[in-house]
Amino acid sequence: MFLNLYIKSSKVFLAEVTDGLQKLRSEVKNILLRAGIEVIEPSEAETNVENLMLNADCSMHILGYDNIIDNDSPVYDTPSAIQYRTAKGLTDGNFKMFVWNPLGIINDKNLYINDIRRDINNNTIYSDITSPIVFVEELRAIMNIKPSAKTDAKNYDILFIYNTLDRDSAKEVSNMLADLQTVTELEINAGADTDYNDFIQNQLPLCKLGIIYYDYATDWAPPFAQQVWKQTGGQSASTPLYIAGNSDHADETQLKPLKKIVSYTINEKSIIPLDIKIYYDKITGKTS
């Protein structure tokens, strides 16, 4: 069984960037795609940028040190600057514009951002969150249609919970687990207004083990696991929680607040199902 509470994908026009931001732009693009968000990019086949933006629900603009709004600036006529001004002209309707300052600060090298902040209107969202993952979650929280999905709880060996950002690798781990135990999946869209608490509190006691898996979602998993642990009974819960982190991005320091209350593994993706199986056998009294 798979419960997916993610309903609608927004279309985002990902604007070009000034020098020094290409690597970050590529990272953000990958995060958007992993989150199930469609990315529209500038294209040589379509020279009218406004037409491209009108096919999107919103645009995203990443700010650097280069002043893109001052017509005396050498980058005023670059694609990133032109796309910024084009998007600004569309915000009178339903089109939204997300403006991101990934540095998280304003100093003497990027003072022009103060002018951008002073010019914010109702459909322009400025953020100085330094984490690209958290910034994308903010975008999703604003842009997505909020789902209202329900399902009946049933008996399974494992409740396997993961963030939408980690869907691809989570599916691989879950599929390997399903060869050994019955598994029900819960995909968490952290940007949605869905209340997952009722489902987890109803489903987890009907399972023998709850897994919280993460890979890229390092900012999300530890506090979410702690919240689930508390809301499902803590040490007195009938079903234990087990955190599984993909060592490509997860490390033990992220789980420091949880070390004394839940068991966990940080390992290669291909080894994680075996770690889970060993822990499952331990708590259920099975022997290999």
Residues β-bridged to residue 46? 43
Last residue of a domain, one of 143, 172, 194: 143
Helix (H) or strand (E) holding 275: helix 272-284
CATH of residue 79's domain is: 3.40.50.2300
Q: What was the pLDDT predicted at 5?
A: 39
Last residue of a domain, one of 109, 143, 177: 143
Helix-helix angle 272-284:167-177, to 10 degrees: 50
Q: What was the pLDDT predicted at 107?
A: 82
Q: What was the pLDDT predicted at 4?
A: 40
Is 148 part of any domain? no
Does one domain contain both 161 and 264?
Answer: yes
For the chain, the farthest-separated pair of C-alpha atoms sits apart, in whole angstroms, at 74
Is 220 part of any domain? yes
Does one domain contain both 47 and 94?
Answer: yes
Tell me how far apart the alpha carbons of residues 242 and 225 are, in angstroms, rounded to a whole number: 9
Does one domain contain both 135 and 160?
Answer: no
Whether residue 284 contacts residue 208, with contact meaning beta carbons closer than 8 Å, is answered with yes
**Cα–Cα nearest to 15, from 90, 79, 67, 77:** 79
Does one domain contain both 230 and 115?
Answer: no
Is 162 part of any domain? yes
Does one domain contain both 166 and 116?
Answer: no
- Buried b / exposed e over 146-156, threshold 16 CB at 10 Å, is eeeeeeebeeb
Is 184 part of any domain? yes
Record the tokens describing residue 102, joined without a space.
Answer: 């990934």
Task: State the DSSP code for 205.
Answer: G
Residues β-bridged to residue 38? 11
**Residue 156 DSSP SS3:** strand
What total number of domains does the chain contain? 2
Does one domain contain both 244 and 207?
Answer: yes
Is 3 part of any domain? no
Record the tokens describing residue 29, joined without a space.
Answer: 């693009």
Q: What was the pLDDT predicted at 256?
A: 87
Q: Report, as ranges of residue numbers, the positions in the chain whose pLDDT lies below 70.
A: 1-9, 44-47, 144-152, 191-195, 287-288
Does one domain contain both 55 and 180?
Answer: no
Helix (H) or strand (E) holding 162: strand 156-163
**Residue 40 DSSP SS3:** strand
Residues β-bridged to residue 59? 13, 97
Whether residue 255 contacts residue 274, with contact meaning beta carbons closer than 8 Å, is answered with no
Tell me if the pTM is above 0.85: no
Instruction: Summarize pLDDT for 67-84 with one digit per residue, the tens.
Output: 888 888 888 888 999 999
Q: What was the pLDDT predicted at 151?
A: 58
- Round to the nearest angstrom and report the end-to-end CA distance of the chain: 26
Does one domain contain both 120 and 169?
Answer: no
Last residue of a domain, one of 118, 143, 168: 143
CATH of residue 183's domain is: 3.40.50.360
For residue 34, give its domain range. Answer: 8-143
Beta-carbon contacts of residue 278 (< 8 Å; ≥ 6 apart): none
Does one domain contain both 36 and 132?
Answer: yes
Does one domain contain both 212 and 94?
Answer: no
Q: What was the pLDDT predicted at 206?
A: 93
Does one domain contain both 99 and 183?
Answer: no
Is 150 part of any domain? no
Whether residue 62 contacts residue 55, with contact meaning beta carbons closer than 8 Å, is answered with no
Does one domain contain both 165 and 114?
Answer: no
Instruction: Summarize pLDDT for 85-101 with one digit per residue, the tens.
Output: 999 989 887 889 999 99
Tell me how far apart the alpha carbons of residues 250 and 155 are, in angstroms, rounded to a whole number: 30
Whether residue 53 contacts residue 95, with contact meaning beta carbons closer than 8 Å, is answered with yes
Tell me how far apart the alpha carbons of residues 98 and 62 are, in angstroms, rounded to a whole number: 9
